[in-house]
Amino acid sequence: MASSLAWSLPPTTWAAVSMTETDTRPLAALDERSLIDACLAGEAGAFDLIVERHRRSIYQLCYRFVGNHEDASDLSQDVFLRAFRGLKNFRGQSSIATWLYRIGVNVCLNRVNAKAPLNQPADPIDDYQLVDVRSDSPADRILKQERDARVRAAIAQLPEKQRAALILRTYHEMSHQEIADVLGSSVGAVKANFFHALGHLKKLLIDEI
Amino acid sequence: MHLTPDELIDVAEGTRRESSLPHLASCGVCRRQVADLRAVLSTVASIQVPEPSPLFWEHFSVRVRDAIAADPAGSGWRWVWTRFRTPLVLAAAPAVLVLCVLGARVIAPRLLPSHDATASLASSVPAAGQGTARDTLASDDPSFLLVADLAGPIDLDTAEEAGLADQSSAEHAVAHLSQGELKELHRLLKRELGNSTN
């Protein structure tokens, strides 16, 4: 009965109601370590739940690196694929989010290095309509979209470490220590990169600020 | 001495109070730097990532699942097995059933003795005094010897208790005859055997 119910539910719901073989709590109630253990035990739905919980933030991280939906989508998928492969190596010394961010930053930097420098986002202005700007007038909305595109293009011109430090600090609210863990550097180096990133942006966005 | 990048960042982000750095109150350069950092931070922080279509997330999860399933690293197969174990077993069950039926209809007749073989086996049973059927069969097939050894010590009562002998069988009827009935049976058999030999 339970299995037929599970198959009739959408995958995300199924993941939430699945039980682990060693733990009778629903997957959604498991802490991070137990969820990883459930994945390693081959529990159906456990990794789905990890994807469901972190896909938005990983997508946003990738988007901020590459500046367009297509690449961000591909890179996010790659992040979760690498995470799945590396599950057995996850020792729980950091949160799943930090671990995924670390993979995400590496994946994004590898992609950025492999490609020609990204001078500006590839998405056309029309693709930005899903940002909630309902309180703005149409003219304001267009101006804001153009301004956002210029800022994204400026961020895309930053050196890798500066860009990573800026993105993780500004948009993902990570502490300098967490960023240092992700980037494999010191807190001092992260702060220096952050400082120089802001200095660079000030020059690049002289007309915006 | 001007503030270090660390101190400027801490003040600009608000993680450190300006009053903790007396130099700031007296240095216009550092104050301007803090103001510039705050302005850039504010501009950068206001940039939102466009939200993809709501359908994108479901498609994304499916794409991740497919990518894992197709992963040449090998772990994908384990994931596929754990995730689709039940439907795979259900799908395989009819195939196994078909194989069993085919095995029973095609292979088994070749292994079991045919009617002709049974007839020739019956004709090979020696007459009384020429050795027992057990000895002959055992020389042909050791498995018969095993069956004979297993069945040998079992008497009719034991077989009955085990449900192997039907109460309507001839063996059951003979085993339960009275002395008079046995004498009459003996007489009738003797007469029939005498008739057949004549």
B47 and A151: CB-CB below 8 Å?
A: yes
Angle between helices A176-183 and A96-114 (to 10 degrees): 50
Chain B CB contacts of A84 below 8 Å: 68, 71, 75, 79
User: Residue ranges of the domains in chain B?
Assistant: 5-45, 166-198
Return the CATH number at A95.
Answer: 1.10.1740.10
pTM above threshold 0.80:
no
Q: Once rounded to an integer, what is the mean pLDDT over residues B22-28?
A: 92
**Pick the residue with more confidence: A169 or A22?**
A169
ipTM at complex level: 0.72
At B161, the amino acid letter reads E
Contacts of B35 in chain A (CB under 8 A): none
**What would the two tokens of residue B150 be?**
């297993």
Domain with A82, as residue range(s), is 1-119
- Say whether residue B43 is in contact with chain A using an 8 A CB cutoff: yes
Contacts of A166 in chain B (CB under 8 A): 44
In this predicted model, what pLDDT tens digit does every residue of B41-95 receive, in sequence order?
A: 999 999 888 889 889 998 999 999 999 888 776 555 555 555 566 666 677 777 7
Residue A152 within a domain: no
| Domain-embedded: residue A12 | yes
| Weakest-pLDDT range from A47-61, A147-161, B69-83, B131-145 | B131-145
Closest CB to A52 among B6, B61, B81? B61
Among candidates A69, A68, A74, which has minimal Cα distance to A119? A68
For the record, the structure tokens of B189 come out as 């058999």
For B161-198, the pLDDT digits (tens) are 666 656 666 766 777 788 888 888 888 888 888 876 65
On the CB side of B164, how many CA atoms lie within 13 Å of its CA? 8
Binary contact (B8, A195; C-beta < 8 A): yes
Tens-place pLDDT, residues A92-108 = 888 899 899 999 999 99
Spatial distance between the Cα atoms of B11 and B35, rounded to a whole number of angstroms: 10
| Number of domains composing chain A | 1
What's residue A85's pLDDT? 92
Q: What is the pLDDT of residues A136-162, one digit of tens each?
A: 688 888 888 888 889 988 998 999 999
A183 is a domain residue: no
